[in-house]
Amino acid sequence: MMTLSVLCASLANPPAEYAPIPFWFLNGDMNRTELERQLRLMHSVGIGTVVLHARQGHTVRYLSDEWFEGIRFCVETCAELGMTAWLYDEDNWPSGYAGGATLAAYPDGQAKHLAVVAQAGDGDEVVGTVGDRTFVMRPTPWHPAYNPGWYTDLLDLKATEAFIAATHERYAETLGEHMGTTVTAVFTDEPGFYNHFHDCAPGTIIWTRDMPEQFEQRCGYSLLPHLPVLFEDGPDAGRVRRDFYRVVSDLIVERFYLPLKHWCNAHGTELVGHVNNEEYLVDHVRYNADFFSAMDGLDMPGMDVIGPAGDWHRQPDSFVAKITSSAAHTRGNVRSMSETYGAAGWGLTPEEIRRIADWLSVRGVTRIVPHAFYYSIAGDRYHECPPSLFFQSPHWPAITGLLRYMNRWSWLLENTQPAAQVAVYYPIDAVRSVTSPLVQRSLGGGLDEHSAGEAGRLGMAFRELTDGLFRAQIDYDILDDVALDAAELRDGALCLHGREYRALVLPEGGVSESARATVGKAERAGVAVISAGDGNAVDLAGQWRTVTLEPPCDQITVTRRSALDGDLLFVVNEGNAPYEGVLSIPGHYGVTVWDLGCGQVDGLACEAEHGHTRIAVQLLEGSAQCFGLAPQVR
């Protein structure tokens, strides 16, 4: 943390290390003159770090000697300019297949799934038979983006080792002394389980060859007699599914994320990135098994905002930014990131760019990774997940100012601490217990949670709860079992890494068996435990709201951040109508206005009344304001 005066002194021109970190799509010929020109242009507008991203359209073969020579030139140019670089660990996405090199080195490493059939066919590997049904392991027939090959088994350590050998080790050999100095991180993009992606292998379960042995070793009983309840309801289905997806979660962390993270850390870099399908709790189960454990496998938690312009704050995304920042806060960190603006189309406006940045930042996401700066938009590249936010954009003059705006957000967020007093429990075990392949696929028309049974209902209830809290100006963090177990009970609060949670909200579905004792102790120690099942959780949590609005408005979102000698209050009008009213905050403060557009700080006259500071505000639709709060002695 820093003091308000130190934060203020650099607000106009924050260090470049806090600037947005764009994907740079290396989707052309990697001409040295053009590479250098583009890097110098980035440097001139304040970009401090760039992601070197192999992307559809590149004419230099991925992982060839020529490819690595081009990457070394980029890194050496960054070093000359005083910039740093992140490596992107894949050819397009998702991470793990190394553009086909993983399976070339380890053919058995193709992703696998479990299917139930009446009779095994040619090529099926029988896992078990229960009654008249046979359960077989099959390779998952899913092609990574723009690649004719197959995706890999992230639950197989040998596949991960082949991925590291083909990609990471080659980069380390090429870049040598730049690893850990100029190169500071490796970005891993959307790893996960794709048997439910589009029409790949509907009605199946994620699998790996030694799953039965791993399950029995970790859970103490055989999975094989219980295979039917992974697919349909039956005796003890909830327990078996919870155990199964816990094992899956453990395996992907142990066999994919942690090997990558350990490699990165051993080479002086961080592992950053995000998983696939963060928007739905049922997909947390099906695609990575547990969002928090996946984030624990990264050094900086991440997410993405991908979709058409105008659709960036649709309701399914309402809690994604909060759970991403919570994955940092509950582990003692503040940094989190979002890959943002991809596939928004060339119609994305500067106003939308800013509003998306505000939407993420007020929810605690500290760094934006713009998707993307294109090396080239020639030919089909123009249509591949646009827009380019680089010099090809008609909005480039405005974008340079927006980059500085985002830089100021990051400077303030990453040097303050969140001050939320409300915790919301992450009900992943409840969703695991009711997840089956009967839930429809998530893309290709979209997942309609209304048709996803109890798993979908729990997800919708969770989003309604978390969105309701935030729109009532009640800031919160989401706590999983690991965070809840690590918290200390002190002075009527759950204390975790300097945060004090006075209230714990339990969503529908309840808590896991292992968390029940902690919740009971917390309630007896004076923590307010609020059950969403009572129907008025938002009202009951209202005494811990960040500010009181007069008049009330559910389009105003706020977060409060603590500096060493005061606080910052960020206020965003997410609606499409102006708001005029008063913010009331307990305590007496000297108030300043911090303009994130120009970096200027000015004093503001406020009222003090009945132990509260009252700030008159006028917020245009889509606008944001930041206030400095310096405690006053009365």
Please, which pLDDT band fits residue 442 given cuts at 50, 70 and 90?
A: very low
- The two structure tokens encoding residue 438: 């009967």
In the block, residue with structure tokens 């129907």: 535
Question: Is it the case that residue 285 has pLDDT exceeding 80?
Answer: yes
Distance (Å, rounded) from C-alpha 580 to C-alpha 141? Answer: 55
pLDDT digits (tens, 9 = 90+) for 328-386: 999 999 999 999 999 999 999 999 999 999 999 999 999 999 999 999 999 999 999 99
pLDDT of residue 439: 62
Least confident of 275-284, 475-484, 514-523, 524-533: 275-284
CATH T-level topology, domain 548-631? Immunoglobulin-like (2.60.40)
pLDDT of residue 130: 96
pLDDT of residue 314: 59
pLDDT of residue 443: 41
Q: Are 470 and 556 in contact (CB under 8 A)?
A: no
pLDDT digits (tens, 9 = 90+) for 16-72: 999 999 999 999 999 999 999 999 999 999 999 999 999 999 999 999 999 999 999
Please, which pLDDT band fits residue 444 given cuts at 50, 70 and 90?
A: very low
Question: Is it the case that residue 630 has pLDDT exceeding 60?
Answer: yes
Every domain of the chain and the residues it spans: 422-544, 548-631
Instruction: Assess whether the region 422-544 and the region 548-631 belong to the same CATH fold.
Output: no
354: left (phi over 0), alpha (psi -120 to 50) or beta: alpha
Residue 300: half-sphere exposure toward Cβ, Cα within 13 Å: 28
pLDDT of residue 447: 61
At position 457, the amino acid (one-letter code) is R
Arithmetic mean of pLDDT over the chain = 95
Question: Is it the case that residue 120 has pLDDT exceeding 80?
Answer: yes
Considering the domain 422-544 in this protein, what is its CATH number? 3.40.50
pLDDT of residue 316: 52
372: preceding bond cis by omega (within 30 degrees): yes
SS3 string, 451-505, reads HCHHHHHHHHHHHHHHHHHHHCCCCEEEECHHHHHHCEEECCEEEECCEEECEEE
Distance (Å, rounded) from C-alpha 90 to C-alpha 138? Answer: 25
